Amino acid sequence: MSAIDGLPPLRAVIATHGLSAKKQLGQNFLLDLNLTAKIARQAGDLTQADVLEVGPGPGGLTRGLLAEGARRVLAVEKDPRCLPALAEISDAYPGQLEVINADALELDVAAHLTPPIKVVANLPYNVGTELLVRWLTPRQWPPFWQSLTLMFQKEVAERIVAKPGSKAYGRLALLVQWRAEARIVMTLPPEAFIPAPKVHSAVVHITRREAPLYPADERILSRITAAAFNQRRKMLRASLRGVAPDIESHLLAAGIPPTARGEEIELERFCALARSLAG
């Protein structure tokens, strides 16, 4: 459908500009503009925000964001074949859409945006987790963004929101939940995309905390969670042995049984362990 903006339907856009999907760029396109507008709405009110979109492709989500009234959209796309299609959207929304042909992993996006900034993206699966980790580990907190509304493989989305005791719980859950609040707001079947991926997808809405939930040194926390989940079936007194010679006393000081496994331990305890080790 094209009613949200009077531009041609996405199928026609793809045919006109020869945008056959490239697997190496993680291209699975959303063609239903009702669906892309619904994803855009998960980010909340966009009328007072600049939106960063990574990987606009033929522009389905971009059109959803603009139709939902985004103050301004900065769309960063690596594939130059998409630029003519995106230029048509710019023309339909004068002054509201800036397109940069670049690799999002190499661009300093904050320099192109005015706060408040919301990130909304149907990310290429191969760079999605890497971008998420970067956005959560800037040099200074709070980061340039207020919220992230991102499409992931459902399995990755579940790792982001996982709680202790579940198989999906690990480093990603701890990192995200330490600095932000995250919830799954939509799930999508493979058929929602062209071409259909092998797996289901989910949209995660992540809102930053102004300060991390519990005090801890980021590098120490990262080191202990890496060691704790590297061999997740091991007891912590064994998996963390390399972190400090007297690790058992630090575990006890943090209220963690040395025989426990990482997957049972809450974020608050990991932060207490990081503080004990820092002291």
Binding stretches for ligand SAM (CB under 6 A) = 25-30, 54-57, 60-61, 76-79, 82, 103-105, 122, 124, 127
Q: How near is the Cβ of 183 to ligand SAM at its closest, in Å?
A: 21
> Nearer Cβ to ligand SAM, position 27 or 276?
27
Tell the smallest beta-carbon distance from residue 82 to ligand SAM (Å): 6
Output 52 or 265, the one with its CB closest to ligand SAM.
Answer: 52
Burial class of 219 by CB neighbour count within 10 A (0 to 12, 13 to 18, 19+) = exposed
| Residue 155 C-beta: closest distance to ligand SAM, Å | 16
Exposed / middle / buried, residue 106 (Cβ in 10 Å: 0-12, 13-18, 19+): exposed
Give the nearer residue to ligand SAM in terms of CB position, either 149 or 225: 149
Record the tokens describing residue 87, joined without a space. 């230029």
Please, what is the minimum distance in Å from the beta carbon of residue 77 to ligand SAM?
A: 5
Residue 60 vs 143, nearer CB to ligand SAM: 60
Q: Which is nearer to ligand SAM, 128 or 170 (CB)?
A: 128
Using Cβ positions, the residue closest to ligand SAM within the complex turns out to be 55
CA 90, CA 249: separation in Å to the nearest integer? 60
Minimal distance in Å, beta carbon 211 to ligand SAM? 30
Shorter beta-carbon distance to ligand SAM: residue 65 or 161: 65
What is the DSSP secondary structure assignment for residue 235, as one 8-state letter? Answer: B
Quick one: residue 222, left, alpha or beta (phi over 0 = left, psi -120 to 50 = alpha)?
alpha
Report the C-alpha gap between 71 and 51 in whole angstroms.
8
CA distances from 277 to 163, 212, 214 (A): 24, 18, 15
Q: How far is the CB of 159 from ligand SAM (least distance, A)?
A: 19
The answer to whether 201 and 223 are in contact (CB under 8 A) is no
Q: Report the distance separating Cα 267 and Cα 263, nearest Å.
A: 10
